[in-house]
Amino acid sequence: MKILVIEDESELRQLICNTLKKDNYVIEYAADFKSALSKINDYDYECIVLDIMLPGGSGLDILSYIRGQKIDVGILIISAKDSVEDKVIGLDLGADDYLAKPFHLSELTARIKSIIRRRDGNTIMSISLGNVEMWPDSHHFKVDGKDVDLNKKEFALLYYFLINKNRVVNKLSLIESVWGDNIDQADNYDFIYSQIKNVKRKLKLAGATIDIKAVYGFGYKTIEL
Amino acid sequence: MKLIQNTFIKISAFISFIFIIWGVFFYFTIFHEVIDETDDILKNKKMLIIKQVINNPELLKDHDGALLSFSIEELPENEKISFKDKFYNSTRYVEIENENEPVRVLETSFRMNDNKNYKLTLMLSTLEQEDLTETIVGYTLVLYFLFLIVTFIGTRIILKKSFSPVIRLLEWMGSIIPGKKIPQLINPTNIYEYKELNNAALDMALRSENAFNSQKQFIENASHELQTPLAIVMGKLEMMIDDDNLNEIQVNHIQEIFETLNRTVRLNKSLLLLLKIENNQIGETSDVSFSSLAHKITEDLSEIYSYKSINLSFTGDQEFVYKCNMDLALILVSNIIKNAFIHTPMDGFITINISSEKFIVSNTSNNSTPLSPDKIFTRFNNDRYSSNSNSFGLGLSISKSIASAFGLSLEYSFYDNIHSFIISK
């Protein structure tokens, strides 16, 4: 599984590379327009993380080049230009998803994994950890081979935890991902606690070998028991 | 007032003025001329009559005529006489018509061969003179109204024709939308001033387009410059927290930094959003159902604020549909509803009333003072948010900007301890 990260800002590039390496992806990177194009021509990638503003050219031109050459690769645009037009243009040109900077690394990982899963053309592909298995597209969840019922929010939460299994997931990124971008400034996090309590209870009842551990006041981490 | 109306009114006022002066002058001149003429006739007749009477004293007796009549009477011998002609206006009784008719009278005296003095009074009917006056006034009025009509039509035709480049220019200016490409200006004219006007308008449009673009560019650049460092700090913190060796105090510090950082991120996003709306970068529009937006938003918010046990209800026919940008409409509605959820006290009520013309979000209040209507939609108005350090007081201001960018109105009202935010078409 090879991923190309095209981002000119070295600090951010390293962060993205490092976080993706945790999920055992092979990461390559390009810091400008030219080297990005030559990398795309020379190697095959599963997914490309593409910044729009690059030295030497626009990421959108790389995008249209890739689609013009019919190169089969998933593309996630990461842009600081959080403008509707860019998003529309990017998706029109054939990007798979669009993520505005600044983003949570856990959200980036979730988006990339979702792109890769969808591009495999194999929507029945599942995510598994320990004895639990999840089919995100068909909304199925099994513990030890047995179906476990989860409501929409519980499912979304658990999906986010499983996909970020090696990371501490911050509660703010959790809210943004599960409840949406418009829910900020919550002054009380009880609603997450109660949903997570339900998920934990259901996991325990079904005899799952994973658990969601709170990391002090910061967030949660999914661990294998 | 339209230019055509204005010009017409001014021209007709001017014409009226000229006509009144000219009419008065013309009337008196003609009148004077007619009297002169009458007096001349009377003088001629007088000469004739006197001549005839002197030759034929028989005629001193009766001599009435239809139009011209005269009388001769003998004057007492001792009376001092003047042989000068005396003209004056008078009336004469006409039996047939049983009324008085106006006459011009000439009184004079003459001396017969027998040295007797006679007074001759000549009368000439001036009925024609009245007719003439009427005719003059009538025709002057006809001419006046004719002039008015001609002026009215003339100003219309001439102004319409000569002002068509201005009207075309105005239409073109109206079609310019900031942020969109300037439409081509097709406005041919031979008039020097209009050519200059065209050039000036085009020049101004291009300059404002440039200013707009550079401002937009600046916003984008500022956004880029700020978002990337924010992304780096955020990522670094996320990487840091993955370290299992951190103790609780360290994690709590990181959490505090993380939350502060998140506020900065949101502030930056909010400011960029406001700038974007104010630059009219509204994006694609479609028919948006505000009630489905409200249902979607309240579903999540009810969950988040479940600890408050708020009673939420929907009323009205749920038909508020408006053509606008979906993403911005979501922000508009969600800021107002979120605001209601945040400020409703425990066990309070939120009512969302949706009709075809109005979308109203009302919530109960924990005190009986209304919010200051001048301040609630102002940026960084933090008064009411003192309880929440996570807020910048930008939410309602963003909603207000979006509403006005959409051509909707957003109003606040307070009645019976209930705050209401009303979006209306």
| Mean pLDDT calculated for residue range B133-155 | 84
Is the Cβ pair A102, B265 closer than 8 Å? yes
Check whether A159 has a pLDDT greater than 70. yes
From A88, A101, A105, residue closest to B238, measured CB to CB: A105
For residue A100, list chain B residues with Cβ-Cβ distance below 8 A. 227
Query: A125 to chain B, minimum CA–CA distance in Å?
Result: 28
**The 3-state secondary structure of chain A, one letter per residue:** CEEEEECCCHHHHHHHHHHHHCCCCEEEEECCHHHHHHHHHHCCCCEEEEECEECCEEHHHHHHHHHHCCCCCEEEEEECCCCHHHHHHHHHCCCCEEEECCCCHHHHHHHHHHHHHHHCCCCCCCEEECCEEEECCCCEEEECCEECCCCHHHHHHHHHHHHCCCCEEEHHHHHHHHCCCCCCCCCCCHHHHHHHHHHHHHHHHCCCCEEEEEECCCEEEEEEC
From A82, A167, A190, residue closest to B223, measured CB to CB: A82
| Mean pLDDT calculated for residue range B106-119 | 81
pLDDT at A47 (0 to 100): 93
Q: Which CATH class is domain B286-424?
A: alpha beta
Check whether B339 has a pLDDT greater than 80. yes
Q: Where are the domains of chain B?
A: 3-148, 192-275, 286-424
Is the Cβ pair A104, B330 closer than 8 Å? no
Closest residue by Cα to residue B274 from B404, B411, B182: B404
Return the percentage of chain A with pLDDT > 90, whole number.
Answer: 32
Give all domains of chain A, ordered by start, each with its CATH number: 2-119 (3.40.50.2300), 127-224 (1.10.10.10)
pLDDT at A17 (0 to 100): 93
Grade residue B421 by pLDDT with cuts at 50, 70 and 90: very high
pLDDT at B66 (0 to 100): 47
pLDDT at B392 (0 to 100): 65
pLDDT in tens, A28-63: 999 999 999 999 999 989 899 999 888 998 888 999
Residue B345 preceded by cis peptide, ω within 30: no
A203: tokens are: 């996991």
Chain B window 215-234: which residues touch A at a Cβ cutoff of 8 Å?
220, 223-224, 226-228, 230-232, 234
Q: Which of A88, A189, A218, A221 to mutate to test the interface with B (most CBs of B within 10 A)?
A: A218
Grade residue B61 by pLDDT with cuts at 50, 70 and 90: low
User: How many Cβ contacts (< 8 angstroms) between chains A and B?
Assistant: 131
The least confident of A36-50, A64-78, A157-171, B83-97 is B83-97
From A12, A184, A216, residue closest to B228, measured CB to CB: A12
pLDDT in tens, A63-92: 999 999 888 899 999 987 656 667 778 888
Check whether A129 has a pLDDT greater than 80. yes
Grade residue B93 by pLDDT with cuts at 50, 70 and 90: confident
| Mean pLDDT calculated for residue range A189-200 | 87
pLDDT at B361 (0 to 100): 94
Check whether B383 has a pLDDT greater than 60. no
pLDDT at B386 (0 to 100): 46
From A81, A170, A191, residue closest to B303, measured CB to CB: A191
pLDDT at B385 (0 to 100): 45
For residue A168, list chain B residues with Cβ-Cβ distance below 8 A. 238, 241-242
ipTM of predicted assembly, 2 dp: 0.82
Grade residue B401 by pLDDT with cuts at 50, 70 and 90: confident
| Mean pLDDT calculated for residue range B342-357 | 90
Nearest CA in chain A to B257: A218
Check whether B88 has a pLDDT greater than 50. yes
Return the percentage of chain B with pLDDT > 70, whole number.
Answer: 93
Check whether A195 has a pLDDT greater than 60. yes
Mean pLDDT for chain A overall = 86
B290: tokens are: 């505000």
Check whether B291 has a pLDDT greater than 80. yes
Mean pLDDT for chain B overall = 83
Is the Cβ pair B228, A190 closer than 8 Å? no
Query: A145 to chain B, minimum CA–CA distance in Å?
Result: 31
Check whether B117 has a pLDDT greater than 50. yes
| Mean pLDDT calculated for residue range B79-101 | 78
